[in-house]
Structure formats: structure tokens, C-alpha cells
Chains A and B, each alone.
Chain A
Amino acid sequence: MWPKRSRKTRRPPARYESLTHLLLDDVEEFQQLRENLMLRRAAQELKTIAVCKANAGEGSSRVACHLAIAFTSDPRARIVLVDSDLRHPGLHALLQVSQENGLYETLIEGAATTKDRIKKTGLPNLSIITSGTPPDAHPAPPLLSVDILQILKEQFSVVVVDTSPVLADAAAVGVAAQCDGAILVLQAEQTRWEVAREAQARLQRAGANLLGVVLNRRKYPIPESLYKRL
């Protein structure tokens, strides 16, 4: 409603007081997301899901986190969250895990060291690979090789990757393309149509399997009492 926040000032990452709050937050929506994803997938397995965003600050970390949590409702499933947004990682804060020793180190040292980076979270069947600590002035990191994903796929049932912004980072589309499915997270009243279209185009050009869109931070302006009457 008010002048849009520029891309430079992004929202600070969500903070939960405890994991319980995290777990209880928006459970229905993410369940619905999971259902829809399951419905949407084609014949093939949906093991790796990339949570993409057009620009930073759209809350894709949270979406990825909660999506993973939604998958953990199935006790047999083992979920791993990968934070591939090396510039602005947010998963570690959400799950209250340390950031270091994550993906960046894996990329530098090779895919074989992936297993070392897997961290446990408070949830039993949810693991996380944080972003690691890239130096500040680092250029674009080397592409996430497909090996890392292969290794993870063997170990876990679902891999949820939180990618870096598609428009900002050229590597993100590569990541999304390597995954089985990708979802695009848009922030309501922030992400512009043209921007989203561009992101979609890039993803499709890269060959990613865009399954759908998640509209984050959506506002429902009509009060419920009035909505019921309309």
C-alpha cells in the first residue's frame, strides 16, 4: 500500500521464538502447498524441489523451510534443506543452526564432502545444509554441481533447495534446472508482473520445471465479516 520497499532494503529474516512456533506457523498453507505439489508432479518422482524467487527478500527461505517442515509430517520421510542462497542465507537463522560449514565449503572442496555439511535440526527428520560463509566480496560461486544433488537424493527422500534470486544470480536457474521441480515464490504487492515474467522466462529457458507459484505475504484487505457477505 505504501511506497514499495526498494530492493535494497530487504525485510529482515523472520524470527521465531522457538521451534515450536516455527512448527505451528501456517501449517495449513504449507500442507496445501505440499498437496498441490504432489498433485502437480507428473509421472516422475519429485525428490528435489527448488524454491526460487525473483528478487531477494521475498521470503522464499521461509517458504522453503516451511515446505520442508510440511514434508516432515510424514514420519517416514527424511527431508534435507539446502540453502544455496550464498549472498543472503536465511535458513540457518530460521532453524537456529549455525551458518558456517555449509554449501560454500562444499562447492569449493568438492561434492564429496557434502555429507560432512549435513546438519541436524531440532526436527527429527529434517536436516539442513546451510550456506556456509562465503567472503563478502565474492563473485558468483561456482555452479552447484549435479553431484551434490545426487548424493543428497540417495540419502534423503526430499531435497528442498532454497535458491538465490533468479534475476540477480545467474546460477540460480541452473540450480532450479537440476531439480525435479521448481516453485516460484512471489511476494504479494511487491513483486511486479514484469519481474515475475522475466524470472519465469529465465527459468523456463534454463529448462526448469516450474510447477507453480507461491504468493507470499498476501494481504486480505476485506474484513472477514464483510467478505462473508459479498
Chain B
Amino acid sequence: MMTERETTWSLSLRDVVRVLCRRSGIILSILVPGVLIVAVASFISLPIYEASAKVLLKRERLSFFHGPNESVQPHISQEIREQELNSELELLGNHSLLEAVVLQHRLYERPVCPAAAAEDPLLVRLRVSACQQRRAWWHWLQTLLGDKDSATSLRLTPQRLEKAIDGLKEGLNIIPIKQSNLILVRYRDRDPDLAAKVVNSLVQYFILKPEQGEQPTGVYELYQDETGTLRKHLQQAEERLWQFRHNAGIIDVAQQKALSLSKLADFEASLRSVEADIAATQGQIAPLKRQLAAQPEEISVETRMVQNDALATLKTHLMTLEVEYGRLREKFKANHPLRREMQNKIRKSKDILAQEAATRIQEQSIQRNPVYESIQSALLQAEVTLASLQARRQVLQQHVHDYYQISQQFDRQSIEIEALNRDAQLHADAYMAYMRKREEARFARVMDQRGIANLSMAEPAHAFSNPVAPRRKLNILLSLVLGSVVGVGIACIVDYTDHTFKTRDEVERHLSLPLLTSIPVKKEWG
């Protein structure tokens, strides 16, 4: 009589350990061979070395050239954009570059397995023989699969070259270094020196390759020819322009036109003022005439007795004569003719003097009317001014007319000159553009010759003595972990699917019968 009891079974540590111990065979049989195989394979495989070089991308070369008349300086950024870095990166894997490297180092001749001399240590020989064995199996497998691969000859066939290039590409690893302008070039090979050489030569070839955008040879000459033709055209256009200007007598049409226009303006202004003056003068003349008519021509100004002025003179003269007579008296006798003449003179003078004294002049000055005079003079002046102004006006009008004509002519001529100018300018622009391009081509060629490039070797590759592969410790550790995980997993699966009785719980669970006893297994026949 058994009571039905519900068996709620939950996993205990004992169960887990029991399973592991029970299936320890499975676990170990997976783990141990796995680790051993991995360890042996790690030690037997050939060590692979890696050489790496860093390439720096910088702007040594400008990819455009500026003439002296550029008004706007384009912005040359000093930062290398990621696009450029990536494009350089892609170009590093260029087929022709790889081909050059392959040919230089004769990578097509290189056997997959190295050769081992007899005096090499055992490990090395072992590795080499393992490699050769692997190659033999691989070869056998390939022939089995029908893959005809005649890799026996060492001649350079295109297939061999391609295979060598593929091999190079496989071993090559080109990556950008983040947040810098550097590109890292890595190559793996079983020979450290060769790896270093390959990387260095690849980078060298890459640096010296023609710049993208660099024109192949012949472009410089093309530009040269073009500039020659354009120069001729330009000269012709300029010649036409000069001829025209010469024929028209123009030096600088704009200024000349401006000058003539200003002159025209001046003359017009003068004309206006002259006309204003004429009007003013005419305005003056009319009232003057009226006033003139109103005034008498002569008036008597005053009547006065005027002292004869001659008296004074006569007196003076008499005085002089007497003085002279005095002198003469002293010198000569009374009957000298000179004295007598002088006496006569004195007597005459005295007579005249007495005569003059007797006459009292009565003057009556009759003058012309000063007002009349002034008016008349003013009128005359005005008329004269009017006449001159009118004459001036005439002249000015003529000038204005002339200058107007001249300005119009200049205008017409300026239009034609514009057209000719444009033509010449076009030619000049084209010529300049081609000149620039030619300069760029020449400059690029010079830089190529000098080896200036946008790239430079920042850090050349050298041969490392430590192999980078196979990573033995990592391999073994990984195989350990993986082996144990897989082993435990398989053990669990096997145990779970093992539908046999192993414990009391199972008996009671599946049969609902009590376990009376368990007889342990005997080792002698168990």
C-alpha cells in the first residue's frame, strides 16, 4: 500500500554534479582531444609575422593654382576630410599597385611552405613538414574535386600572377586610424623581413603614384597648344580694338565722353548765364533810354570869377627872369645885348602880368549835364555789354552744339568699343583659364619630379621578431572553454535523453513503486 505522493522535483546541486560526474567520460572525451588537437595544431602551424606601416595624409600639394588676379581666395581647409582618407585607402588596394609589388618581390615564385634545412631545430622541421603535408592533402583534395591546378612550374604565367596578387590582397589589411590622418597598412607573412619589405614597397609605390586629378603626360602640351592659339585670337581682338580707337581718335572713351559732357554742361551753364545777363542788360537799357530822354543835355553849373592862374605862372616866370637879370647884371654891362634882351623879357613879362592882372576872367562853366552824361555812359556801357553778351551767346551756342555732337559721337563709339572689348575679354578669359591649367600641369609635373605628394610615410614597417599568429595561448584557452561548454552541453543532452533508471527519484516518478534497495555495481564485472 503506497500513498500517492506528488513528486515535485527541482534541480539540486547534487543532481548537477551527478550528471557531470556520470558523463565525465563524454565531457573529457570531447574536451581533451579538442584541446590537444588545438594545442598541437597551434604549435605545428607556422608562425606568421605582421609588419605594419603608417601613412600620413597631408596637404603638401594644392590641387588648384591661382593666378595673380584672383579676387576671392578659395578656402583651403587644412583638415583632411574623411572622404579623401577613404578614397586614398581604397586606392591603396589598387590592382596595379599590388601587381607592381608582386613583381618587385617576386611573390609569384614563393612557395606556400618554407624550406627547412637539416640543421634547423626539430620544431622548425616539424612545422615545415606539417605545412608540406597539409599542402599535399590540399592538393590531393583539389585533384579529387577535379580542380586542375598546375602549380608546379615557377614561370610567370598570368594565372600565377593573379594568384600571387590575390594572395597579397588576402594578407593585406588597410585600415584608417580613427580620428587622425593616418592610414595603417598591415601585411602578414611567415617571413617577417619579407612582410616589412612588401609593406614598405607598397607604400612607396602608392606615394609615388600620380595624384588623382593629375593629368597624364601630354596634357601639359595640350594646354600649351591651346594657350598659343588663344593668344593669337586675343591679340587679333585687341588689335581690332586698338584700330578702332585709333581711327576714332579715342584714348579713353568713357573719360572723353565724360569730359565732353561736362564741357557741354559748362557751356550750357554759361549760355544760360549769358542769356540771363542779356535779359538783365536789356532790362537795364530800356529805363536808361527813358531817363536819358528825360534829362537835358547841358546845364550850367556855376559862374565864378576866377583868378587868373596865369598870374602865378607869370609871376614865377618874372621872378626867374629877374633873378637871371640880376645875374646878368653882375656879369655884364648895362648895354650888353643879353641884358637888354633880358630887360625886354622882363618888361614883356611885366606887361603881360599887368595885362593879366587887369583882366579878371569871368568864367562860366557850362557843362554837359552830369546826370545826362552818366546816364548816357551807362546806356552806352549797357549797349556795349549787350552787344558783347550777344556775341558771346552766339559763340556759346555754337560750342554747345558742337559738344553735343561730340558727346553723341562718343556715345556711339563707346557702344562699339564695348562690343570689341567684350570680344577681347572673352578671349582673354579663355586664355587666362588655359594659362592657369597649363601652370597647374606644369606645377604638378614639377612636384611629381620632386616627389612631393599628399602622402608620406609616417612610420615605415620593420620586421617584428614576435609572431602575431597563431595565438597559441588564446587558442588553447578558447579550445578549453569551448570544449568544456560543448562537452557539458552534449553531456547534458545525453543525460537528459537517457531514459534509464539511475536514481530513486526516477524509479518512483516513472513507476510509482518504492525503491526497495539499490545494489551497487561491482567493479570486477561492472
Contact = CB atoms under 8 A, between A and B. Distances in A.
Interface of A: 1-2, 4, 11-12, 14, 26, 29-30, 32-33, 36-37, 40, 42, 59, 62-63, 183-184, 186-194, 196-197, 200, 210-223, 226-227, 230
A213 B516 contact: yes
Interface in B479-526: 498-502, 504, 506-507, 510-511, 513-522, 525-526
A184 B513 contact: yes
Contacts of B18: 221-222
Contacts of A37: 516
Contact of B499 (A186, A193, A212): A193
B501 A214 contact: no
A218 B520 CA distance: 5
B488 to A, nearest CB: 15
Contacts of A12: 525
A192 B499 contact: yes
A11 B525 contact: yes
Interface of B: 1, 13-14, 17-18, 21-26, 498-502, 504, 506-507, 510-511, 513-522, 525-526
A36 B517 contact: yes
Contacts, number: 123
A214 B500 contact: no
Given A63-B519, A196-B501, A230 B513 contact: no
A217 B511 contact: no
A63 B517 CA distance: 10
B242 to A, nearest CB: 112
A12 B525 CA distance: 9
Given A14-B525, A212-B513, A222-B17, A191 B520 contact: no
Contact of B17 (A215, A219, A226): A226
Contacts of B26: 1
A188 B502 contact: yes
A218 B22 CA distance: 12
Closest 5 CB pairs of A and B: A221-B21, A212-B516, A221-B22, A33-B517, A217-B521
Contacts of B526: 217, 219
A42 B1 CA distance: 7
A20 B79 CA distance: 98
Contacts of B518: 29, 188, 214-216, 218
Nearest to A185: B519
Nearest to B23: A1
A184 B498 CA distance: 20
Contact of B519 (A1, A214, A226): A214
Contact of B14 (A184, A200, A222): A222
Contact of B507 (A192, A213, A222): A213
A33 B516 contact: yes
Given A193-B499, A221-B22, A226-B17, A214 B516 contact: yes
Contacts of B521: 188, 217-219
Contacts of B513: 184, 200, 210-213
A217 B500 contact: no
Contacts of B501: 186-189, 191, 193, 196, 215
A222 B511 CA distance: 25
B515 to A, nearest CB: 5
B515 A212 contact: yes
A193 B516 CA distance: 17
B13 A197 contact: no
A29 B517 contact: yes
A1 B516 contact: no
A215 B519 CA distance: 6
Contacts of B23: 1
A29 B519 CA distance: 6
Contacts of B525: 11-12, 14
Contacts of B22: 1, 219, 221
A216 B519 contact: yes
B492 to A, nearest CB: 14
B517 to A, nearest CB: 4
28 contacts: A11-B525, A29-B517, A32-B516, A33-B516, A36-B517, A40-B514, A42-B1, A59-B519, A186-B501, A186-B507, A188-B518, A189-B500, A189-B502, A190-B500, A191-B501, A192-B499, A193-B500, A197-B511, A211-B513, A211-B516, A214-B515, A214-B519, A215-B517, A215-B519, A216-B518, A220-B520, A222-B18, A230-B17
A193 B515 contact: no
B442 to A, nearest CB: 85
A146 B513 CA distance: 26
A188 B521 CA distance: 9
B515 A215 contact: yes
B16 to A, nearest CB: 9
B104 to A, nearest CB: 61
A36 B516 CA distance: 6
A192 B286 CA distance: 157
Contact of A230 (B14, B500, B506, B522): B14
B519 A196 contact: no
A149 to B, nearest CB: 22
B517 A30 contact: yes
A82 B516 CA distance: 21
Contacts of B502: 188-189, 218-219
Contacts of A188: 500-502, 518, 521
B334 to A, nearest CB: 198
Nearest to A200: B511
A222 to B, nearest CB: 5
A218 B510 CA distance: 17
A2 B13 CA distance: 24
A192 B500 contact: yes
B14 A26 contact: no
A119 B50 CA distance: 86
Contact of A40 (B25, B516, B520): B516
B175 to A, nearest CB: 51
B503 to A, nearest CB: 8
A63 B498 CA distance: 24
B273 to A, nearest CB: 131
B30 to A, nearest CB: 14
A184 B513 CA distance: 9
Given A192-B499, A215-B507, 13 more contacts: A29-B520, A33-B517, A62-B519, A188-B518, A211-B513, A213-B513, A215-B515, A215-B518, A215-B519, A218-B519, A221-B22, A226-B21, A227-B14
